[in-house]
Chain A
Amino acid sequence: MNSGYKQFLLLALIAFVPAFAILAQDTLMSASRIQAAYYKDQAGQERIVAKLLIKKERYEPLSNTEIQFFAVADTSNVLLGKMMTDDKGEAVYILEEDDKAYSDSTGQIAFVISYEGSPTTKDASKDIQVKAADLKVSFFQEDTAKFISIEAFEKEPSGAAMPIADLEIGLFVKGTFSHLPLVKEVTGADGKLIVPFPVELPGDTLGNLTIVAKIEDNDVYGNVEAWGRINWADPVELTSEARRGLGDTDAPLWMVYTLIVLLSAVWLHYAYVIYLIIKIKLSKHLA
């Protein structure tokens, strides 16, 4: 009787161990998270940027890991591509023409970005839906007043362009390293936005300025960017050519002349003295 009870206990314990192991493994695995966004740049290139984060103490980027990009089709998810994350945990997938075929009747495409997970990390995925939008930046002048005009429209599945109303657009000036914010305004019913051109802004040497219009983090349209270039800014002067100065390659002329005069004064005397020594040798026979 006792031995049977002991055997049962032992079996139960043995059965529990793998259960414990599985449970333990589940709680020991690190949580992970994916952030994803859709971008369309001013050249028309569309891409999805995904960032993979893994929880250590806080959420940190996970590099050198594969992320898969899917498009949601009617029946299943179609694998569009696999990309490796870089040092910052980001992976970029550039959308190709064929990928747009997975749009639904409203013109919206759904993407799933997923991470398979690893023995120590949980899997993660993110869904995003995106509708393609276009921005156009143009400029016009009324008398002396200058204006920027932005138009936002989306393409229907039929191919017609429909203006987007009540859309918040940010306007920036393009700089070498970043975009300088100007204003944030909403399009009117006709999908247009007119803003006075900012005066007293410096441009390049020819007075060119690039205005950037952006749809930022929109739930429907993602991120869209468009540029417009115009010659209305104050031109900037290029630095003049090499000067002569204390901090330049060439010394100030007065310094050059002083040095030449001083050095030649001394060395010419040396030359004369050497000449005298030669004369001494030559005049050994004189009285």
Chain B
Amino acid sequence: MKLDPKSTRSLNFFTAQMTSISRAGIIGLVVLGLILAGGIYALIVQVVDGHIVTGMRDNVVWGIYIANFIFFIGISYAGALISGILHLLRVPWRAPIIRIAEMITVISTIIGPTYILLCMGRLDRLHHLALFGRIQSPILWDVLAISTYLMGSIIFLYLASIRDLSALRSYPFKSKWRTKLYKFLSVDFNGNTVQNQYLDRALNIMSSIIIPLAILVHSVLAWIFGMTLRPGWHSTIFAPYFVIAAVFSGTGVLIIAMWVFRKVYHLESYITKIHFNYLGIILMILGALYAYFTFSEYLTSWYGSETWEMEVLYKLFDYNEYWWWFFFAAIVGVLLPIIVILFPRFRSINSITAVSVVAVMALWVKRYLIIIPTLETPLLPLQDMRPEYIHYTVTPIEWLLTFAGIAMFILLFFLFSKFLPIVNVVKVAEGRSYGTLREIVANKLLKRQIRELKLKEHQKFAH
């Protein structure tokens, strides 16, 4: 596909980074590799010795693995909702960040479900889900929903990359396999009108579908907990609560990823303060919504006198138990982003990223606080003398696998960025030539006037 000179310069900028690696990059890779190796060792230990090496016991049967699973599926909302909604609303400043967002979705939807696999007692019977699956079970809804979602987000990422892929296939790469790969994947797209129509139609369909799909996926995940008779889980607002938390954490991770790539790949001209500001405001609004849901949930629990609900609340408010984590997750993690972003004088690229880090960590802790305190306070209280059957403690094996998952996330991102430009080059180019929203509209009107004039001319000639 032919590009204008400015876009070609952009493309060259990215291809240079795609084909080289800095020293810092190599060090980073080594560190990630070490963490991953630790994770593989932990996996082998867990497979050989059984789940007794984790902290899970008969009371807390779902531990940090499930918290990680919910966390990763939650941050996948970056691509699904942010990118999808921004596309549908034709928001002009979305161009440089949508690829990062879509990559977050795909990678986290791959890593999240692997944590479920780690939590399952008999992985050798995974095929039973296909042979004997019962659709009355929320877990089966989750399996169907997540596989549909993964397929959808891969298709969405692919469609949004076709234009860049077609630009890349004519770039003189040193390695032949790259060019071959780009040739295959860009399905001979060359920017002609008909192909553009097809591609835009496909993009519209996918961005429309992925929004309700993402909402459904996280609702189904919430219903796995919401359908059980447990205090703290059997809540009617669990599905919307999870969805809001997910968009909140997804936006936070997007901001962090933007900051990281901006620094590592020197994207200062592409990802500007405007992007951070706008996404920061979105983060703040979502944070306020999330705070509203949290407040509503705990106020209702506290006001009613049901003993089983109070047991969980007492655990969360107990100084010796989860109070400091709860304080961080539900209060600090929400108020800090709101305060910092609310006042323009506090907003800067670094400050917005810093509060995003706090928000994301707070939400990870919140996922932990949703699962473990409830499992530690069943309706029929425990009477067991073994301390590990009363309190759940995360074992080193579980920590190793958690960090390995995060390392895998970063590694996959790194690999993706070597394969696709991290910024949607063609889209950015279009955006530059179109300019602001006002200019886009003016351009469209101008085009229509030109067409009508041409038609008149044609008719004149005909007579």
- Beyond contacts A269-B209, A277-B202, A283-B198: 14 other A-B pairs, Cβ-Cβ < 8 A, are A247-B136, A251-B135, A252-B136, A256-B135, A263-B144, A269-B205, A276-B201, A277-B198, A279-B198, A280-B162, A280-B199, A281-B188, A283-B194, A284-B189
Is there contact, CB below 8 Å, between A283 and B187? no
State the CA gap A262–B220 with chains docked (Å): 13
A255 interface contact, C-beta 8 A:
yes
Given contacts A267-B148, A273-B205, contact A284 B134 (CB under 8 A): no
State the CA gap A255–B138 with chains docked (Å): 12
B151 interface contact, C-beta 8 A:
yes
State the CA gap A240–B189 with chains docked (Å): 62
Residue of B nearest to A278 (CB): B187
Q: B377 to chain A: closest CB distance in Å?
A: 26
Is there contact, CB below 8 Å, between A287 and B193? yes
B150-166 vs A, CB cutoff 8 Å, 1 = contact: the mask equals 01100100010010000
B206 interface contact, C-beta 8 A:
yes
Neighbouring B residues of A251 by C-beta, 8 Å: 134-136
B67 interface contact, C-beta 8 A:
no
Q: B191 to chain A: closest CB distance in Å?
A: 10
State the CA gap A284–B183 with chains docked (Å): 13
Residue of A255, A274, A286 near B136 (CB, 8 A) is A255
Neighbouring B residues of A239 by C-beta, 8 Å: none
Is there contact, CB below 8 Å, between A270 and B152? yes
State the CA gap A281–B134 with chains docked (Å): 40
Is there contact, CB below 8 Å, between A266 and B198? no
A contact face: mostly helix, strand, loop, or mixed:
helix
Most buried by B among A256, A274, A280, A281: A280
Residue of B148, B195, B213 near A280 (CB, 8 A) is B195
A272 interface contact, C-beta 8 A:
yes
Neighbouring A residues of B188 by C-beta, 8 Å: 280-281, 284
Neighbouring B residues of A281 by C-beta, 8 Å: 187-189
Given contacts A270-B152, A277-B202, contact A246 B195 (CB under 8 A): no
A259 interface contact, C-beta 8 A:
yes
A249 interface contact, C-beta 8 A:
yes
Residue of B nearest to A247 (CB): B136
State the CA gap A276–B189 with chains docked (Å): 12
Q: A97 to chain B: closest CB distance in Å?
A: 57
State the CA gap A5–B22 with chains docked (Å): 112
Most buried by B among A252, A263, A273, A281: A273
Q: B426 to chain A: closest CB distance in Å?
A: 15
B contact face: mostly helix, strand, loop, or mixed:
helix
Neighbouring B residues of A286 by C-beta, 8 Å: 192-195
Is there contact, CB below 8 Å, between A273 and B148? no
Is there contact, CB below 8 Å, between A266 and B209? yes
Is there contact, CB below 8 Å, between A276 and B198? yes
Which residues from 93 to 124 on chain A have a C-beta closer than 8 Å to any C-beta of chain B? none
Which residues from 192 to 239 on chain B have a C-beta closer than 8 Å to any C-beta of chain A? 192-195, 198-199, 201-202, 205-206, 209, 213, 216
Interface size on B, residues (CB 8 A): 27
Which residues from 210 to 264 on chain A have a C-beta closer than 8 Å to any C-beta of chain B? 246-247, 249, 251-252, 255-256, 259, 262-263
Is there contact, CB below 8 Å, between B192 and A283? yes
State the CA gap A229–B400 with chains docked (Å): 69
B190 interface contact, C-beta 8 A:
yes
Q: A269 to chain B: closest CB distance in Å?
A: 5
Is there contact, CB below 8 Å, between A266 and B213? yes
Neighbouring A residues of B189 by C-beta, 8 Å: 280-281, 284
Is there contact, CB below 8 Å, between B134 and A249? yes
State the CA gap A287–B216 with chains docked (Å): 40
State the CA gap A246–B137 with chains docked (Å): 9
Given contacts A246-B136, A259-B135, A286-B192, contact A277 B201 (CB under 8 A): no
Residue of A nearest to B213 (CB): A266
Q: A276 to chain B: closest CB distance in Å?
A: 4
State the CA gap A279–B194 with chains docked (Å): 9
Q: B216 to chain A: closest CB distance in Å?
A: 8
- Offer 11 A-B interface pairs, CB within 8 angstroms, sorted by A: A247-B136, A259-B135, A266-B209, A269-B209, A273-B159, A273-B205, A276-B202, A277-B159, A278-B187, A284-B189, A287-B193
Residue of B nearest to A279 (CB): B198
State the CA gap A277–B189 with chains docked (Å): 9
Neighbouring A residues of B195 by C-beta, 8 Å: 280, 283-284, 286
Neighbouring B residues of A272 by C-beta, 8 Å: 205
Residue of B nearest to A246 (CB): B136
Q: B219 to chain A: closest CB distance in Å?
A: 12
Neighbouring A residues of B135 by C-beta, 8 Å: 251, 255-256, 259
Neighbouring B residues of A276 by C-beta, 8 Å: 198-199, 201-202
Residue of A nearest to B216 (CB): A262
State the CA gap A278–B201 with chains docked (Å): 13
Neighbouring B residues of A278 by C-beta, 8 Å: 187
State the CA gap A212–B206 with chains docked (Å): 75
State the CA gap A284–B196 with chains docked (Å): 11
State the CA gap A266–B146 with chains docked (Å): 12
State the CA gap A284–B159 with chains docked (Å): 16
Neighbouring B residues of A283 by C-beta, 8 Å: 192, 194-195, 198
Residue of A nearest to B203 (CB): A273
Most buried by B among A251, A256, A277, A281: A277
Q: Which 9 A-B pairs have the closest CB atoms?
A: A284-B188, A281-B187, A276-B202, A276-B198, A273-B202, A283-B194, A286-B194, A251-B135, A251-B136
State the CA gap A263–B144 with chains docked (Å): 8
Is there contact, CB below 8 Å, between B201 and A266? no
Q: B118 to chain A: closest CB distance in Å?
A: 27
Neighbouring B residues of A247 by C-beta, 8 Å: 136
Is there contact, CB below 8 Å, between A270 and B192? no
Neighbouring B residues of A269 by C-beta, 8 Å: 205-206, 209
Given contacts A246-B136, A251-B134, A256-B135, contact A284 B198 (CB under 8 A): no
State the CA gap A283–B198 with chains docked (Å): 10
